[in-house]
């Protein structure tokens, strides 16, 4: 789900643990918009004290990218649940977050 040739472990850690303005790290996902939305929802459930909104996570942070390097479109991710209630990677994402 993560493009490992473009995202190393240090980048992954910096994106989730450090202030966005203190580094240039990016995470390159190999996920479509519905899967990104589900990733965010599971992330929020697993870490309920996290205050990131959907727009912060995908747009304002500028740390999450598609595998082609382009940013995800916030509106596409925001509306993904209404078009596709369950993503293609739903079972994979649930398994990952259950193991955390």
Report, as an integer, the average pLDDT of 11-37: 92
Question: What is the helix (H) or strand (E) element at residue 66, kind and residue range?
Answer: strand 64-66
Contact assessment for residue 47 and residue 16, using Cβ atoms and an 8 Å cutoff: no
pLDDT confidence band for 26 (50 / 70 / 90): very high
Q: 84 pLDDT exceeds 90?
A: no
What percent of the chain is predicted at pLDDT more than 70?
100
Q: How far apart are CA 76 and CA 72, in angstroms?
A: 8
Q: What average pLDDT does the chain have? A: 91
pLDDT greater than 90 at residue 83: no
Which uninterrupted H or E stretch holds 55? helix 54-55
80 — phi, psi (to 5°)? -60, -35
User: What global pTM score does this model have?
Assistant: 0.85
Domains of the chain, by residue range, sit at 4-99
Q: Which two tokens stand for residue 50?
A: 């996290």
């Amino acid at each position: 789900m993560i493009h490992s040739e473009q995202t190393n472990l240090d980048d992954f850690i910096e994106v989730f643990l450090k202030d966005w303005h203190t580094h240039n790290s990016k995470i390159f996902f190999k996920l479509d918009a519905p899967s990104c939305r589900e990733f965010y929802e599971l992330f929020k459930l697993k870490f309920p004290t996290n205050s990131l909104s959907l727009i912060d996570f995908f747009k304002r942070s500028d740390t999450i990218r598609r595998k082609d390097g382009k940013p995800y479109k916030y509106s596409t991710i925001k509306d993904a649940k209404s078009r596709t209630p369950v993503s293609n990677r739903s079972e994979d994402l649930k398994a990952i977050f259950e193991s955390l």
